[in-house]
Homo-oligomer: A and B are copies of this chain.
């Protein structure tokens, strides 16, 4: 997954210290793959996955829409060339003054999952379109969702009725099947729930128009994942099964699936050591860790592909840790990671599939280490 362009960049620029390199050609390919697999769905890129201006500008040019989590992200999408009509304020937790700011910027599509949020939007963005997020179980996701977002379907009906009563346009429902979702049929149960909400509201004279099917599309780490094509096919079947010949407008919100495999982190082996003479596993310390951008190794959830220049050599299982004086800054310890026996202090190591949720997750300057540098090429 390290493209030739990334290899060439690293070989010629030789950047010092850890850094992320993002290949825009891969992002472009991913966008086309989603558009081809799901031609009837509008793509709303989840800005939080990687808000690099170059990425946003490319996607804006390709015709992408944008799912934004804050006013700052809305402003980034606008700066990249998106019109307000192509932006969704997709966070269900918003300060009323931030809704007012988004409204002033022309944003007219908002996520809600509670009566309280509907009230804020009715005051700060009168007449806006709202969609209500419904809770799903997230089974099968590698980065599981909690119950933080959404409400049960019955409550979603009440919330959307309330929005209608307060003069908002009750526009649709949304759900999220869980990040890095590797089951292509995971959308089916949620679409059945969505349909029930549509039916309940139609009985009250409120006709929803849209289903926001969220993100969850995976990136390839160590294991193969299904293609965008396979997800498109499965989702399309579910839409037909549940909505028949009245398929609503649909939205997808890929983040990881759009940029994950476009990025590679270049890091360096700082130390290789053992804790005792009879330790079986060596500790390999890199110059990047949990606080420098690899937060998704929390509980060893995401297992990134790691490449070295010695990968043809004999391998042995290692513990991999970051450079900070923090004992929690260990990447893989419960499940040891095979690395070459010949790996040496000073060696360059590539961590693949790191285009999403790395630069933004990294700490400001923990231990005095600078945030992860990023080069978008």
Contact = CB atoms under 8 A, between A and B. Distances in A.
A76 interface: yes
A368 B276 contact: no
Given A70-B368, A93-B270, A135-B275, A328 B361 contact: no
Given A327-B144, A330-B146, A367 B69 contact: yes
Nearest to A51: B368
Number of identical protomers: 2
A222 interface: no
B327 A146 contact: yes
A11 interface: no
Contacts of A91: 323-325, 367
A364 B368 contact: no
A361 B115 CA distance: 34
Contact of A69 (B144, B359, B362, B368): B368
Secondary structure type dominating chain A contacts? loop
Interface string A132-158: 000100000001111111111011001
A23 interface: no
A119 to B, nearest CB: 9
B367 A364 contact: no
Interface residues of A, number: 78
Given A155-B276, A275-B147, A276-B155, A325 B90 contact: yes
A116 B273 contact: yes
Interface string A318-342: 0001011111111001000000000
A46 B55 CA distance: 39
5 contacts: A48-B326, A73-B368, A91-B325, A94-B270, A179-B327
Given A91-B324, A93-B285, A146-B328, 6 more contacts: A48-B324, A71-B368, A94-B270, A94-B271, A155-B277, A363-B364
